[in-house]
Amino acid sequence: MTQGPLTTEAGAPVSDNQNSESAGVGGPVLVQDQLLLEKLAHFNRERIPERVVHARGAGAYGTFTVTADVTKYTRAKFLSEVGKETEVFQRFSTVAGNLGAPDAVRDPRGFALKFYTEEGNYDLVGNNTPVFFIRDAIKFPDFIHTQKRDPYTGSQEADNVFDFWGLSPESTHQVTWLFGDRGIPASYRHMDGFGSHTYQWNNEAGEVFWVKYHFKTDQGIKNLTAEEAEVLAGKDPDSHQRDLREAIERGEFPSWTVGVQIMPAAEAATYRFNPFDLTKVWPHADYPVIEFGKLELNRNPENIFAEVEQSIFSPGHFVPGIGPSPDKMLQGRIFSYADAHRYRVGINADHLPVNRPHATEARTYSRDGHLYDGRHKGAKNYEPNSFDGPVQTNRPLWEPIAVTGVTGETVTPSHAEDNDFVQAGNLYRLMSEEEKVRLVDNLAGAISGVTRVDIAERAINNFRQADEDFGKRLEAAVQALRG
């Protein structure tokens, strides 16, 4: 590749490869940002047929039950009364590994839920961590490239991993989570889940609330040490998938207590952290978790390919009373996930039994294409029409948000206490001495595999900025391993 400026696929120079274009500072992402769409669309098509990320997974059906009244916050019908039950399908996954990779590895875990509601399917696509490595979807293809196999060596390279993390200091918080005790869950049943992103709830009166979802495992948290995971991954690569299936077969149905943090919309602008920054949490002291539901998994799929591999989830699948926020990662994923499934499974993937609505029916004017099942028969394929076809409701699913400013590639706005290190430092200081030792050992083992001194030093410095003791211990541990 010749030297020169970064360009688009068409050869036009790229002015900003770090920040996607938004409607004003902190506003939603614009479709006119063709670099963002080009990168995400290209990234989705880099592998076939397995998922580019979250390829290795397991799933099960179950039930979500409302346990507390939240109707003053949302008009979603599946949350409309205490005791109401909704069928769900859940898919768990690792992120970086391919379809044949082992389960017991240090990696975030996907925590994706499909609620089959009477108003359509609602997909909540989260992880087992409340934060993520980056805050802008334009960086996502670059991030995942560092986690996957190097195009020259064919292996995952520590240089790539820590080069990107060191140059992206917003990742420090998530990396501290990942290399701590919860970085390798003992099973899918023994880990918490999070919606991670901030979402909108809106009630019948049109009031808006920003929310974050929490799923607390009723089985208790159980994790593996690096040494235990290394043995288990070699002995039983399918450990997590096997554990989930066998637990349900025994009648030991795993469950999670579901809660939500709720922020009135008016408080977002002056909150001490940017509430739409995926690399940040909302401290529970500011917004306590309110319990409102119970999730139970109680039925295994009958065919892994048909129901787990062909299952699709999109953060853009909302129902009335729930919607997006200006979170730039969420905005990008709303396009990227749906686009990936159209490419990987097919344009009519929503017609498959695991994906189609179970408590209502889809009524659209889309026709033909791969997997089309002829469900519309002779009905008209255009709208408006004079043949009693489905018509619009004239009521949006979510409430509009105000935006100001000029369009452009904007940095995510900072609030009073925002920086890339404060919450990572807070997390470190919450740990016991034993937890700190394991965290430093895990990180040092990974960083010691970096071949370039400048990349290793830059990575260590990010943790030093989070906490001086953290950085000092890590530097000493890396030096000891390097000899």
Q: Are 104 and 240 a contacting pair, CB within 8 Å?
A: yes
Q: How far is CA 183 from CA 174, 212, 459, in A?
A: 10, 21, 18
Angle of helix 422-430 relative to helix 468-482, nearest 10 degrees, comes to 80
Q: Are 126 and 213 a contacting pair, CB within 8 Å?
A: yes
Give the pLDDT score at 226.
95
125, pLDDT greater than 90: yes
Q: Are 121 and 114 a contacting pair, CB within 8 Å?
A: yes
Report, as an integer, the average pLDDT of 227-231. 96
Percent of the chain with pLDDT over 70: 99
pLDDT in tens, 335-371: 999 999 998 998 888 989 999 999 998 888 888 988 8
Give the pLDDT score at 48.
54
Give the pLDDT score at 31.
86
Phi/psi region, residue 312 (left: phi>0; alpha: psi -120 to 50; beta: rest), is beta
Q: Are 186 and 242 a contacting pair, CB within 8 Å?
A: no
Q: Which of 201, 194, 235 is nearest to 216 (CA)?
A: 194
Q: Which of 399, 410, 321 is nearest to 27 (CA)?
A: 410
Q: d(Cα 37, Cα 272) in Å, to the nearest integer?
A: 31
Place 1 in a pLDDT band, splitting at 50, 70 and 90: low
Q: Are 22 and 410 a contacting pair, CB within 8 Å?
A: yes
54 is catalytic: yes
Give the pLDDT score at 141.
95
Give the pLDDT score at 333.
95
Say which of 19, 44, 121, 127 is annotated catalytic: 127
Say which of 54, 173, 197, 317 is annotated catalytic: 54
Rounded to the nearest angstrom, the gap between the alpha carbon of residue 153 and the centroid of all alpha carbons in its chain is 28
pLDDT in tens, 239-249: 999 999 999 99
3-state secondary structure the chain: CCCCCCECCCCCECCCCCCCEEECCCCCECCCCHHHHHHHHHHHCCCCCCCCCCCCEEEEEEEEEECCCCCCCCCCHHHCCCCCEEEEEEEEEECCCCCCCCCCCCCCEEEEEEEEEECEEEEEEEECCCCCCCCCHHHHHHHHHHHCCCCCCCCCCHHHHHHHHHHCHHHHHHHHHHCCHHHCECCCCCCCEECCCCEEEECCCCCEEEEEEEEEECCCCCECCHHHHHHHHHHCCCHHHHHHHHHHHCCCCCEEEEEEEEEEHHHCCCCCCCCCCCCCCCCCCCCCCEEEEEEEEEECCCCHHHHHHCCCCCCCCCCCCEECCCCHHHHHHHHHHHHHHHHHCCCCHHHCCCCCCCCCCCCCCCCCCCCCCCCCCCCCCCCCCCCCCCCCCCCCCCCCCCCCCCEEECCCCCCCCCCCCHHHHHHHHHCCHHHHHHHHHHHHHHHCCCCCHHHHHHHHHHHHHHCHHHHHHHHHHHHHHHC
Of the listed ranges 170-179, 219-228, 377-386, the one predicted with least confidence: 377-386
Bigger pLDDT: 11 vs 66: 66
Q: Are 409 and 21 a contacting pair, CB within 8 Å?
A: yes
pLDDT in tens, 81-107: 999 999 999 999 999 888 889 999 999
Q: d(Cα 32, Cα 44) in Å, to the nearest integer?
A: 19
Place 382 in a pLDDT band, splitting at 50, 70 and 90: confident
483, pLDDT greater than 70: yes
pLDDT in tens, 384-402: 999 988 888 888 999 998 9
Place 144 in a pLDDT band, splitting at 50, 70 and 90: very high
Q: Are strands 57-66 and 109-117 parallel, antiparallel or unpaired?
A: unpaired
Report, as an integer, the average pLDDT of 196-214. 98
Look up tokens 């008009």; give the residue. 75
Q: How far is CA 254 from CA 144, 183, 249, in A?
A: 31, 20, 11
12, pLDDT greater than 90: no
Place 2 in a pLDDT band, splitting at 50, 70 and 90: low
pLDDT in tens, 48-60: 578 888 889 999 9
Task: Specify which residues 234 forms β-bridges with.
Answer: none
Rounded to the nearest angstrom, the gap between the alpha carbon of residue 331 and the centroid of all alpha carbons in its chain is 12
Examine residue 384 and say whether the peptide bond preceding it is cis (omega within 30 degrees of 0): yes
pLDDT in tens, 250-263: 999 999 999 999 99
Q: d(Cα 49, Cα 27) in Å, to the nearest integer?
A: 35
Buried b (16+ CB within 10 A) or exposed e, 132-165: bbbbbbbbbbbbbebbbeeeeeeeebbbbbbbbb
Place 126 in a pLDDT band, splitting at 50, 70 and 90: very high
Average pLDDT, the chain: 94
Q: Are 455 and 413 a contacting pair, CB within 8 Å?
A: no
Task: Specify which residues 258 forms β-bridges with.
Answer: 215, 293
47, pLDDT greater than 70: no
Look up tokens 């541990």; give the residue. 477
11, pLDDT greater than 80: no
